Amino acid sequence: PILGGYLADRVLGRFGTITAFALPYLAGHLVLAAVPTRAGLGIALVLLALGSGAIKPNTSTLMGMIYEAEKKTALLGRAFSYFYAAINVGSALTSLGLPLVREAYGYAIALLLPAALMAVSFVLFVAGRRHYPAEPPRRAPTPTERAAARASIRALAPLFGLIAVFWFVYDQTASTWIFFARDFADLELWHGLSITPDQVQGANPVFILVLTPVFNRLWSWLATRRGSPLPDTRKMHYGFWIVVITMGGMAMAGASASFGRVSAWWLLLATFVITLAELCISVVGLELSYRRAAPGTRSAITGAFLATIFVGDLFGGMFAQLYGQVSPGVYFLLQAMIAAAAALAFGSIAGRAERLREGLTADPLASAA
């Protein structure tokens, strides 16, 4: 995503990058459906990674530019939250719909369906070109712009490093949480209705859709109460402590599992609570990346934010090797401790950044939350 962001900022622009890399992304889906071999899978994954990596940092940035061009920056927070919710609409529909298509028509048709939808979305995106703001011709940055870019990178790098810790913990929901549900949970929700271990995380996109308008109202209420918008880093700091609470609850569940299977409702509650953290950190992080980036670096900075997922998952995968070597309670408690350390560090760094912006209103990083 960093490379895709750089290409958009310096070479192709947002529209050019999205349209250029939508084609390999579409081709990846077609290869995945048409070439059911190990080599075909490898080629498809490369094409999909190339396409999605270049597209992701530019769609949210382009949306932000549209609001800025129309002088509606006060609505950016809501815009990014509903953008994130829209992504989860696709996730929910895919999780629920594609298995049904696969069972009815086979893998090939199920894999072709995303390709067809991608083709439709590409046509709609290109058709809406007249609504996108014109981008100035790309040129080499001036010394002042380079200095501003370096300043924004220095300010955001430690925050992004700690956001990687969030993903380190959060994305365990797709691995060790499933193992825990399989081995230690009673998956019957009520008489006659049970869920599978991997269906627990399927509640996440539903929670996001339900909670997005709730959070928008919450941030608006807090802004009215305090007389100014809540700083984005403050929102994210709250999210880190919510992660600590979640993993503390999972540690309790892990300890209880030594006496018998725990209720699936415990896991669903933990999924609900960690979704609150996601809305504080991931959604707000997209907005932070857009607002705090120096001119000419917005897509690259957004790409760096998205790259924190890779970093967190890389170390999370290594850490997950401990699962099974220690008890679930100890494993989740260790994650709670790591999250608590990250929360303390994030609060310290974010607090200094907030005080700096309050004192340097002319600083290129100073912006409303």
Q: Tens digit of pLDDT for each residue in 206-228?
A: 999 999 999 999 999 999 998 88
| pLDDT digit string, tens, across residues 130-140 | 889 988 777 77
pTM equals 0.88
Q: Tell whether the model's pLDDT for residue 278 goes beyond 90.
A: yes
Please determine, for residue 145, whether its predicted confidence score (pLDDT) is greater than 60: yes
Is 158 a member of any domain?
yes
Number of structural domains the chain divides into: 2
Which residues share a beta bridge with 326?
323
* Final residue before a domain boundary, out of 107, 136, 165: 136
pLDDT tens digits for range 285-323: 999 999 999 888 999 999 999 999 999 999 999 999 999
Q: Are residues 145 and 37 in the same domain?
A: no
**Whether residues 150 and 292 fall in one domain:** yes
**What's the rounded Cα separation, in Å, for the pair 353 and 96?**
42
Residue 369 pLDDT more than 70? no
Find the DSSP H helices in 35-75: 38-69
Is 346 inside any structural domain? yes
pLDDT for the residue 357: 61
Res 362: pLDDT = 43
- In terms of Cα–Cα distance, which of 239, 236, 216 is closest to 353? 236
Asked whether residue 224 falls in the same domain as residue 107, the answer is: no
Q: In the predicted model, what is the mean pLDDT of the chain?
A: 89
Same domain, 209 and 356: yes
Average pLDDT over residues 74-97: 87
In a domain, 369, yes or no: no
**263 and 166 within one domain:** yes
Are 194 and 306 members of one domain?
Answer: yes
Q: How many CA atoms lie within 13 A of 179 on its CB side?
A: 13
Confidence band of 93 (pLDDT split at 50, 70, 90): confident
Provide the domain limits for residue 259.
140-364
Q: Within this chain, do residues 282 and 151 fall inside the same structural domain, yes or no?
A: yes
Q: Which residue type does 310 have?
A: F
